[in-house]
Chains A and B, each alone.
Chain A
């Protein structure tokens, strides 16, 4: 039995220890927002947060997640999801949309750690996520916008 927390909910699951976190959350927990794209940590479609880092769930064995806290696109905290989703909507980023959960989960770590990212920061944070529709320009714009929204949201909540 492996104990893990997903989006704040605790689970105790009987799983093979080498089963990647991706398939645990998709096939066992039914959370399909996190996507399969390559299975070998090349594309970033499977990005989720584990103890606050943007891990590639397709290569992370569930044994490593034992006792840890996983957050998926469905459970991203509002202080990050709100500015990102607002920005993604405003810029109309997605085309096919398949990679966007992973893009947003990666971007969330960026704007958390670097509230005002430069274009170079965006390259450094986001080059691990492939978008086959090539929405990269809009992702870049949306991250800049999200960082502005996040700081104004933070200011508002401080008032």
Chain B
């Protein structure tokens, strides 16, 4: 039988620190058959060197400020209930505009699709249902996996941006996959189709994420 160890939330930070130091080392066991994508060290290290060089350039300062500002806008979308509810800090999804813990004791489950008789798709359909308080839905409705829970909830802009730059957090080979994800992932797109909508349109949201990365993926100050 497959045994999954649930990674503690702090793992992300430990791994993140180690990555920045240029060493790939994961102190945590992963499922035997789980694929761990390699960390793109080139990106992180090169970026760090570039930034040091550019410290005194006004242009660079402006670019960095714009990068941070773009992230600040995108952050509002990431932390909006339509997005954050499925990126909770615990193992239960959140629901509603107040991001309360999903009723009925729903759990993430190892694959992010729920547990036993409480799988997400048992209630959430292939499309949103019309009618008050009926579950929204899309074919791929799920949470991040237990192995890589991609927690948004409780993160400051800086912490979240650090996460996005860490392939252990995102599971993406490089940060440009993040753009592809927010631009084309059906579940992301779907978040802009029901209930209280995120503060940016999907198009503007993608543009801000792109701008953040194109302008250096600067970490916000806080």
Residues of A within 8 A of B (CB): 40-42, 44, 47, 53-56, 59-61, 64, 105-107, 109-110, 113-114, 121, 123-129
Alpha-carbon separation in the docked complex, A42 to B134 (Å): 9
Q: Which residues of B contact A124 (CB under 8 A)?
A: 105, 107, 115-116, 118
8 additional contacts, CB 8 Å, given A55-B122, A64-B125, A64-B126? Answer: A41-B134, A42-B104, A47-B117, A55-B121, A105-B117, A121-B115, A126-B117, A128-B117
Does B133 touch A at the CB level, under 8 Å? Answer: yes
**CA of A126 to CA of B119 in the docked complex: distance in angstroms?**
11
Bound Cα distance from A106 to B118, whole angstroms: 8
Interface residues of B in 37-85 (CB under 8 A from A): none
Once A and B bind, how many residue pairs between them come within 8 Å at the CB atom?
70
Task: List residues 80-110 of chain B with CB under 8 A from any CB of chain A.
Answer: 103-107
| A53 CB contact (under 8 Å) in B106, B119, B126, B135 | B119
**Residue ID in chain A nearest B107 by CB atoms:** A124
Give the interface residue-count category, chain B.
Answer: 20 to 34
A127, B121: Cα distance in complex, Å:
16
- Residue from the set B116, B122, B132 with the largest chain A CB neighbour count within 10 Å: B116
Q: Are A59 and B135 in contact (CB under 8 A)?
A: yes
Shortest C-beta distance, A4 to chain B (Å), equals 15
Interchain CB contact under 8 A, B105 and A53: no
Q: What is the interface of chain B, defined by CB distance below 8 A to chain A?
A: 103-107, 115-119, 121-123, 125-126, 129, 131-135
* Minimum CB–CB distance for A112 against chain B, Å: 9
Return chain A residues, CB-CB under 8 Å to B132. 40
Bound Cα distance from A100 to B65, whole angstroms: 60
Residues of A within 8 A of B106 (CB): 127-128
Give which listed residue, B117, B131, B134, contacts A107 with CB less than 8 A.
B117
23 A-B residue pairs with CB within 8 Å: A40-B132, A41-B122, A41-B123, A44-B117, A53-B121, A55-B121, A56-B123, A59-B125, A59-B135, A60-B125, A61-B125, A61-B129, A109-B117, A123-B105, A124-B115, A125-B116, A125-B117, A126-B117, A127-B104, A127-B106, A128-B104, A128-B117, A129-B117
